[in-house]
Amino acid sequence: MAEEATVSQSRLSLGRWLVEGLRAGLLLRPRIGPAQPAPWQVLALVVIGSALDVALDRLGIAGDAKFDVRGLLLSWWNAGAIVLVAWWLLPRRDASADVDAPHGVAAWFALWITAVLLPNTAVQIWAAAQAQDIIPEGGDWQTWLPTVIACVWLVAITLRLSRGFGAPRVANGALTLALAGLFALSAWQFPDRPWLVDTDEVASEDQAPGLQLTQETFEAQEALTRQVFANIAKERPGVTDVYGVVFAPYSQDDVFLRESTMVTKLLEDRFDAAGRVVQLANNAETAESLPWATSLNLQRAINAAGEKMDREHDILFVYLTSHGANDFRLAASNPPLSVEPISPGELRQALDNAGIRHRVIVISACYSGGWVGPLADEDSLVMTAADATHTSYGCGSGEELTYFGRAVFDEQLRHTHSLEQAFNAAVPVIRKREQDAGKPDGFSNPQMQMGGRMRPLLQELERRLDAMKGQ
């Protein structure tokens, strides 16, 4: 048929490359013949894909957002790696090859970068519809199913397109696996996106008084921090002790200070951790009573706890509460003091450097599900207030506690020492409260991942605490 005839000319228009790329996205045979794109055409296709990605990513955030150039550039880091892998694995053209057959890395990449617009756009439109409350919340499957379908689609595109370029079966499979690995690495280590939730706008205009920085304040903080870390109680031989670091780095909303104080007291009273919990908070009212919640103090607190505890048998409980962004960094502020946001990798590195084996890590923040992958292992329990694509709720200044902190810690853990039981009982309560409050982007979908070696240790702790309380 004429429609399926190959094109023999060496150059195609940009529009034709777009059309043929979209056809490849529908798993149709490329009709480019031996044509090769000009460098400016490849660049134009990348720019078109990037512009579409930026526009759709903005729709995926309900409410105020700010543009992050770093997130945009990081989202394209793997383009160069993809070109190198394709150049390595795609067959070279020789004299015996079909002169009218598609060939070359440039042509392959021009089609591929356009073809993947279809699955990527489908996922982003779905996410935007959820964020804008166009699609009603229907369960956890709405979070993972579109991504799974898109991944299968991407694999099919790569296999079909590379076969059209004459790639042998082994090389075709290797190319597909290499691309899957690059995407997995990108999602794990480079989750940054072009748009971030604007935490400055999220914060209430009715903010607490600002911190007054004086020499006396700095000297008092330095002395206080040293004293707090030095006063951490030593571990008790033969007892699985609970140590705690509770971290509230956002000063402009008092809900985080209240929540961190509640969790600190709960660990002391309900988990036999009196003298072993360090509370770090940024708030003008606590500048002389609590160490500041900075990344450096977080590292120091973890190290100080590690020096006092039995790092192979005791448990370190880390609770972080703040606003979260969809790049998974935890918002931090204490104006006029400059405080950097906290990332999952920083926390993981601090825990690893301290040599602490058993960890309970709880993140009460929007998009906190993005912390699960970097922090989860067989010796840890990781619990989050939301999944990686949704906001949590109850973080305004007018709230007493966040919905997550209130349900799991202030309610359920008053009646049980089982973190798993408390979480499972709290999730439907959180869902109901969010529905009643009209949460615009759907259910926050709290997450929990329990390591296989962590469960028996926590069960042993539960039995000891139950016996102490007579429960």
Element (H, E) at 245: strand 242-248
Which residue has better confidence, 92 or 155?
A: 155
Q: What is the pLDDT of residue 76?
A: 61
Helix (H) or strand (E) holding 181: helix 169-189
Q: At what angle do helices 105-115 and 117-131 cross, to 10 degrees?
A: 20
- Residue 72: phi and psi, rounded to 5, are -65, -45
Residue 72 amino acid letter: L
Position with higher pLDDT, 421 vs 106: 421
**Residues 207-469, CATH architecture:** 3-Layer(aba) Sandwich (3.40)
Selection from 168, 43, 22 nearest residue 106 by Cα = 43
Between 29-43, 49-63, 64-78, the lowest mean confidence (pLDDT) is in 64-78
Q: Which residues pair with 65 in a beta bridge?
A: 197
* 95 vs 109 pLDDT, higher one: 109
Output b/e per residue, 323-332; b: 16+ Cβ within 10 A.
Answer: bbbbbbbbbb
Q: Which pLDDT band holds residue 213 (cuts at 50, 70, 90)?
A: confident
Q: Residue 1: pLDDT band by 50, 70, 90 thresholds?
A: very low
pLDDT > 70: percent of the chain: 82
Count the neighbouring beta carbons within 10 Å of the beta carbon of residue 288. 10
**Residue pointed to by tokens 């009603």:** 136
**Per-residue pLDDT band at 443 (split at 50, 70, 90):** very high
Spell out the residues 6+ positions from residue 49 whose beta carbon is closer than 8 angstroms to its own: 113, 114, 116, 117, 120
Question: Domain segments of the chain: what residues?
Answer: 2-197, 207-469
Burial class (CB in 10 A: 0-12, 13-18, 19+), 420: middle
Q: With bands split at pLDDT 50, 70 and 90, how would you rate the model's confidence at 3?
A: very low
| Contact predicate 323/198, CB 8 Å | no
Return the closest-CA partner of residue 148 out of 119, 109, 118: 119
- d(Cα 213, Cα 225) in Å, to the nearest integer? 16
Q: How far is 216 from 221, CA to CA, in rounded Å?
A: 8
Residue 415: what pLDDT? 93
Confidence tier at 206 by pLDDT (50, 70, 90): very low
**pLDDT tier for residue 4 given thresholds of 50, 70 and 90:** very low
Q: Is this structure's pTM higher than 0.85? A: no
Residue-wise pLDDT for 248-304, tens only, equals 999 988 999 999 999 999 999 999 999 999 999 999 889 889 999 999 999 999 999
What is the DSSP secondary structure assignment for residue 411, as one 8-state letter? I
Q: Is 211 helix (H, G, I), strand (E, B) or coil?
A: coil
Mean pLDDT of 160-178: 76
Side-chain half-sphere exposure of 7, counting CA atoms within 13 A:
16
How much is the pLDDT for 9? 47
Q: Mean pLDDT, the chain, as a whole number?
A: 84
DSSP 315-374: EEEEEEES-B-TT-PBP-BBTTB----B-HHHHHHHHHHHT--EEEEEEESTTGGGGHHH
Can you tell me whether residue 470 is helix, strand or coil? coil
- Average pLDDT value for residue range 170-196: 67
- Encoded tokens for 7: 């094109």
